[in-house]
Amino acid sequence: MRAPNPRILIPVLLAAVAGGTVGYYVTAASCAPGSCPGAAAAIGGLVALGAGAGTAVTSTAAELNLLDGATAPPVQVAERTFTETANSGTYTATVVIPAGATVLDVIWRNTAVWTAATSASLLVGDDDDANGYIEATDVKAAPIADVNGAGAGISTRLSLGATAGAYKGGGGRFCATAKTITATVATVDAGTGTAGRSRLLVEYALPSTSAAAKA
Protein backbone atom coordinates (compact mmCIF):
# COMPACT_ATOMS: atom_id res chain seq x y z
CA MET A 1 0.00 0.00 0.00
CA ARG A 2 1.20 3.51 -0.79
CA ALA A 3 0.70 6.32 1.74
CA PRO A 4 -0.31 9.85 0.67
CA ASN A 5 2.61 12.01 -0.44
CA PRO A 6 3.56 14.39 2.43
CA ARG A 7 4.70 17.00 -0.10
CA ILE A 8 1.02 17.83 -0.69
CA LEU A 9 1.32 19.90 2.51
CA ILE A 10 3.64 22.42 0.85
CA PRO A 11 1.01 24.22 -1.27
CA VAL A 12 -1.44 24.03 1.65
CA LEU A 13 1.02 25.78 3.97
CA LEU A 14 1.87 28.39 1.35
CA ALA A 15 -1.82 29.15 0.81
CA ALA A 16 -2.38 29.44 4.55
CA VAL A 17 0.57 31.84 5.02
CA ALA A 18 -0.52 33.98 2.07
CA GLY A 19 -4.14 34.07 3.21
CA GLY A 20 -3.23 34.91 6.79
CA THR A 21 -0.92 37.72 5.72
CA VAL A 22 -3.54 39.28 3.46
CA GLY A 23 -6.21 38.96 6.16
CA TYR A 24 -4.00 40.62 8.77
CA TYR A 25 -3.03 43.64 6.69
CA VAL A 26 -6.52 44.20 5.25
CA THR A 27 -7.97 44.22 8.77
CA ALA A 28 -5.20 46.44 10.12
CA ALA A 29 -5.69 48.92 7.28
CA SER A 30 -9.39 49.27 8.12
CA CYS A 31 -8.64 50.39 11.68
CA ALA A 32 -6.99 53.50 13.04
CA PRO A 33 -3.20 53.06 13.14
CA GLY A 34 -2.22 50.70 15.96
CA SER A 35 -5.77 50.41 17.30
CA CYS A 36 -6.61 46.77 16.50
CA PRO A 37 -3.57 44.54 16.25
CA GLY A 38 -5.36 41.76 18.14
CA ALA A 39 -8.36 41.80 15.83
CA ALA A 40 -6.09 41.88 12.79
CA ALA A 41 -4.17 38.87 14.09
CA ALA A 42 -7.39 37.00 14.82
CA ILE A 43 -8.83 37.72 11.38
CA GLY A 44 -5.52 36.77 9.78
CA GLY A 45 -5.55 33.44 11.63
CA LEU A 46 -9.08 32.67 10.53
CA VAL A 47 -8.28 33.50 6.91
CA ALA A 48 -5.17 31.31 7.10
CA LEU A 49 -7.22 28.37 8.38
CA GLY A 50 -9.81 28.87 5.66
CA ALA A 51 -7.21 29.17 2.91
CA GLY A 52 -5.40 26.05 4.07
CA ALA A 53 -8.58 24.02 4.37
CA GLY A 54 -9.87 25.24 1.04
CA THR A 55 -6.82 24.08 -0.91
CA ALA A 56 -6.04 20.82 0.85
CA VAL A 57 -6.57 18.14 -1.76
CA THR A 58 -4.97 14.92 -0.56
CA SER A 59 -5.33 11.69 -2.48
CA THR A 60 -6.36 8.67 -0.46
CA ALA A 61 -4.15 5.61 -0.31
CA ALA A 62 -6.73 3.72 -2.39
CA GLU A 63 -6.60 6.36 -5.12
CA LEU A 64 -2.81 6.30 -5.20
CA ASN A 65 -2.80 2.51 -5.37
CA LEU A 66 -5.21 2.71 -8.31
CA LEU A 67 -2.72 4.94 -10.12
CA ASP A 68 0.08 2.50 -9.29
CA GLY A 69 -1.88 -0.22 -11.06
CA ALA A 70 -2.67 1.85 -14.13
CA THR A 71 -1.38 0.40 -17.40
CA ALA A 72 -0.63 1.91 -20.78
CA PRO A 73 -3.51 3.40 -22.81
CA PRO A 74 -5.73 0.64 -24.27
CA VAL A 75 -5.12 1.79 -27.87
CA GLN A 76 -1.60 2.70 -28.87
CA VAL A 77 0.03 3.86 -32.10
CA ALA A 78 3.70 3.40 -32.92
CA GLU A 79 5.34 5.19 -35.83
CA ARG A 80 8.59 4.47 -37.64
CA THR A 81 10.12 6.70 -40.30
CA PHE A 82 12.20 5.71 -43.33
CA THR A 83 14.68 8.02 -45.09
CA GLU A 84 16.33 6.87 -48.31
CA THR A 85 20.08 7.36 -48.64
CA ALA A 86 22.40 6.65 -51.55
CA ASN A 87 23.63 3.13 -52.46
CA SER A 88 22.10 -0.30 -51.99
CA GLY A 89 20.92 -1.54 -48.61
CA THR A 90 18.06 -2.79 -46.46
CA TYR A 91 16.15 -0.46 -44.15
CA THR A 92 14.52 -2.23 -41.19
CA ALA A 93 12.11 -1.05 -38.50
CA THR A 94 10.29 -3.10 -35.87
CA VAL A 95 7.32 -2.70 -33.51
CA VAL A 96 6.85 -5.15 -30.64
CA ILE A 97 3.23 -6.15 -30.01
CA PRO A 98 2.61 -7.44 -26.46
CA ALA A 99 0.85 -10.72 -25.77
CA GLY A 100 -2.92 -10.36 -25.69
CA ALA A 101 -2.99 -7.32 -27.98
CA THR A 102 -4.95 -6.99 -31.22
CA VAL A 103 -3.29 -5.26 -34.16
CA LEU A 104 -5.97 -2.94 -35.52
CA ASP A 105 -4.14 -1.45 -38.50
CA VAL A 106 -0.78 -1.23 -40.23
CA ILE A 107 -0.42 1.80 -42.49
CA TRP A 108 2.35 2.69 -44.93
CA ARG A 109 2.62 6.13 -46.48
CA ASN A 110 5.19 7.54 -48.88
CA THR A 111 5.62 11.25 -48.30
CA ALA A 112 8.05 11.09 -51.23
CA VAL A 113 8.45 8.08 -53.53
CA TRP A 114 11.80 6.31 -53.54
CA THR A 115 14.33 6.92 -56.30
CA ALA A 116 16.79 4.02 -56.06
CA ALA A 117 18.29 3.42 -59.50
CA THR A 118 17.14 -0.21 -59.85
CA SER A 119 14.59 -1.17 -57.18
CA ALA A 120 13.14 -0.42 -53.75
CA SER A 121 10.91 -3.20 -52.39
CA LEU A 122 8.80 -3.02 -49.21
CA LEU A 123 7.62 -5.93 -47.05
CA VAL A 124 5.72 -5.74 -43.73
CA GLY A 125 4.95 -8.82 -41.67
CA ASP A 126 5.52 -10.53 -38.34
CA ASP A 127 7.05 -13.67 -36.85
CA ASP A 128 4.45 -15.87 -38.56
CA ASP A 129 4.28 -14.30 -42.02
CA ALA A 130 6.99 -12.01 -43.39
CA ASN A 131 4.52 -10.26 -45.69
CA GLY A 132 1.29 -10.78 -43.73
CA TYR A 133 0.55 -7.07 -43.47
CA ILE A 134 1.97 -5.72 -46.74
CA GLU A 135 3.17 -7.87 -49.60
CA ALA A 136 6.08 -6.93 -51.87
CA THR A 137 5.55 -3.33 -52.96
CA ASP A 138 7.65 -1.21 -55.30
CA VAL A 139 7.89 2.01 -53.28
CA LYS A 140 9.43 3.73 -56.30
CA ALA A 141 5.90 3.81 -57.70
CA ALA A 142 3.37 3.05 -54.96
CA PRO A 143 1.66 4.22 -52.95
CA ILE A 144 1.62 7.69 -54.47
CA ALA A 145 3.25 10.43 -52.43
CA ASP A 146 1.01 11.55 -49.55
CA VAL A 147 2.07 14.84 -47.99
CA ASN A 148 -1.23 16.23 -46.71
CA GLY A 149 -3.74 13.46 -47.35
CA ALA A 150 -3.44 13.49 -51.13
CA GLY A 151 -2.60 9.78 -51.34
CA ALA A 152 -4.39 6.89 -49.67
CA GLY A 153 -1.33 4.88 -48.67
CA ILE A 154 -1.65 1.19 -47.76
CA SER A 155 -3.91 0.17 -44.88
CA THR A 156 -4.51 -3.40 -43.73
CA ARG A 157 -7.67 -2.55 -41.78
CA LEU A 158 -9.28 -0.73 -44.71
CA SER A 159 -7.78 -3.13 -47.28
CA LEU A 160 -6.45 -0.09 -49.10
CA GLY A 161 -3.72 -0.67 -51.64
CA ALA A 162 -3.32 -3.58 -54.00
CA THR A 163 -0.55 -5.10 -51.87
CA ALA A 164 -2.29 -5.25 -48.49
CA GLY A 165 -1.33 -8.67 -47.12
CA ALA A 166 -3.14 -11.74 -45.84
CA TYR A 167 -3.99 -10.04 -42.53
CA LYS A 168 -6.06 -7.30 -44.21
CA GLY A 169 -9.65 -6.49 -43.27
CA GLY A 170 -11.68 -8.21 -40.59
CA GLY A 171 -11.48 -7.36 -36.91
CA GLY A 172 -7.71 -7.08 -36.66
CA ARG A 173 -5.05 -9.66 -35.83
CA PHE A 174 -5.13 -11.01 -32.27
CA CYS A 175 -1.72 -11.91 -30.85
CA ALA A 176 -1.99 -14.55 -28.14
CA THR A 177 1.78 -14.30 -27.70
CA ALA A 178 4.06 -11.33 -28.22
CA LYS A 179 4.83 -10.62 -31.88
CA THR A 180 7.32 -8.38 -33.64
CA ILE A 181 6.09 -6.52 -36.70
CA THR A 182 8.97 -5.96 -39.10
CA ALA A 183 9.04 -3.58 -42.06
CA THR A 184 11.89 -3.70 -44.56
CA VAL A 185 12.74 -1.77 -47.69
CA ALA A 186 15.46 -3.42 -49.77
CA THR A 187 17.07 -1.13 -52.34
CA VAL A 188 19.37 -1.74 -55.26
CA ASP A 189 21.00 1.56 -56.10
CA ALA A 190 24.12 2.88 -57.77
CA GLY A 191 24.36 5.92 -55.52
CA THR A 192 21.65 8.20 -56.86
CA GLY A 193 18.57 7.34 -54.77
CA THR A 194 18.06 9.78 -51.89
CA ALA A 195 14.53 11.14 -52.24
CA GLY A 196 12.40 8.43 -50.58
CA ARG A 197 10.58 9.35 -47.37
CA SER A 198 8.04 7.01 -45.75
CA ARG A 199 6.13 6.45 -42.52
CA LEU A 200 4.92 3.22 -40.96
CA LEU A 201 2.10 3.42 -38.40
CA VAL A 202 1.04 0.44 -36.29
CA GLU A 203 -2.15 0.73 -34.24
CA TYR A 204 -2.94 -1.91 -31.65
CA ALA A 205 -5.28 -2.40 -28.68
CA LEU A 206 -4.44 -3.90 -25.31
CA PRO A 207 -7.59 -3.31 -23.23
CA SER A 208 -8.30 -4.50 -19.72
CA THR A 209 -10.30 -7.73 -19.76
CA SER A 210 -12.74 -9.51 -17.49
CA ALA A 211 -14.58 -12.80 -17.80
CA ALA A 212 -18.26 -12.95 -18.68
CA ALA A 213 -20.60 -14.19 -15.94
CA LYS A 214 -22.96 -17.08 -16.59
CA ALA A 215 -26.42 -16.84 -15.00
Q: By three-state DSSP, how is residue 198 classified?
A: strand
**Rounded to 5 degrees, what are φ and ψ at 116?**
-55, 140
Q: Give the pLDDT confidence score for residue 33 in this predicted structure.
A: 62
Q: By three-state DSSP, how is residue 83 classified?
A: strand
Q: Give the pLDDT confidence score for residue 170 in this predicted structure.
A: 81
- Please name the helix (run of DSSP H) or strand (run of DSSP E) that holds residue 16, with its range, or none: helix 9-30
Distance of CA 172 to the CA centre of its chain: 20
What predicted TM-score, i.e. pTM, was given to this entire model? 0.66
Q: Give the pLDDT confidence score for residue 98 in this predicted structure.
A: 96
Q: What is d(CA 169, CA 165) in angstroms, rounded to the nearest whole number?
A: 9
Q: By three-state DSSP, how is residue 143 classified?
A: coil
Quick count: other Cβ atoms within 10 Å of Cβ 57? 8
Domains of the chain plus CATH, in order, are 6-68 (no CATH), 75-205 (2.60.120)
DSSP string, 88-133: SEEEEEEEEEPTTEEEEEEEEEEEE----SSEEEEEEE-SS-TTSS
pLDDT along the chain (215 residues), means of 10: 59 61 59 60 57 56 58 86 98 97 96 96 97 96 82 85 86 95 97 95 92 93
CA distances to 34, 43, 54, 55 from 19, in Å: 21, 10, 11, 11
Surface-to-core class of residue 73, CB atoms within 10 Å of its CB (0-12 exposed, 13-18 middle, 19+ buried): exposed
Asked if residues 142 and 150 have their Cβ atoms less than 8 Å apart, the reply is no
